Amino acid sequence: MNRPYRADPILQPDNRRFTLHPIRYPHLWKAYKTAQSMFWTAEDVLDATADTSDWNDILSEEDRRFISTMLTWLTYSQRGIGTASADLIARFCAEVQIPEARCFYGFQIMAINIHKEAYTAILLDLVPEASDRNNSVDALKSEYVLTSKREWMSQWVMDRHKPFPVRLLALAVAQSILSSTATASLFWLCTRAHLPAVAQAHQLATQDQALHATFSVLLYRSLHDEVNLIWVKEIILAAVHLEQFFWDSLVRSQSHDALNITTMDNYIEHVADRLLDALNLPPMFSKANPFPFVPTTAIVGRAIPETPTYPTSPTQSVDTYDSDL
């Protein structure tokens, strides 16, 4: 039976709490301190001289086109098309009232900007001609699946009429699944010992992104209302199909067969299962990671601390939100 969504305590201003301490959500605070310990800047990334040499002297035209597309996507997706933009995270930060979460969100916004800066700087070094970079962007924009990703984000993450638990869950799904193919493909590149600056920046950025997704899961598990399992599966399945379609379209247009389509499909489903496990839900696909070169730190679910009981009303049971979404 449908029922109105009850606003969660973490969305309610607490006029009695004027200071950060004492910490009331230690699991969220731990995530923030973890983000602090992982801090890096674009200047920490290796000089791209070796990458430029590899780009010009070693990589084939097919490889260059493929990598350029992946880097363009990682830069372009920071605008909130298939992943979380700084503006989108700022919206969540404005809704969530507890300072532990706001501390993390502030750091996440900074990290997103650093990722954008690092990827853009590398792309400028490898593809110095603006016309070539614009061609990559135009090629991405022309992909029908990109429009589908934008529509998925609008439907599930950005629609303020959706209950907060639904949007937060969808944010975790986007952060985990909708850039998983780019993540895996660039880690595959690292195994070939080419483009060390790209490899380093990608390693650092994906660790951050996995932590961001993990934080969304932690916050979701802190809510008093959860999304009905049927809706959880629908949201995740739609994202899995979108990412599989994205990869299939990319591989067909790029004629790059180094990463098998079927194997990549299995990887996307593995990432979805990892997300479900982090949510304390059963797997949908039961797929192992087919890519040993992708580190576990790059996938959602890294070192999730146990969620404590709710500090506002520890005896209250968790409800399931089941409404017409």
Catalytic site residues? 119
Tell me the three state secondary structure of residue 320: strand
CA distance 149 to 279: 23
**Closest to 145 measured CA to CA, from 255, 238, 276:** 238
Measured in residues, the chain has a length of 325
CA distance 131 to 154: 30
Side chain identity, residue 21? H
CB atoms within 10 A of CB 67: 23
**CB neighbours of 309 closer than 8 A, spacing ≥ 6?**
none
Q: Phi, psi at residue 276, to the nearest 5°?
A: -60, -40
Tell me the three state secondary structure of residue 321: strand
Supply angle C-alpha 311, 314, 318, rounded to 5.
110
CB atoms within 10 A of CB 143: 17
CA distance 13 to 20: 14
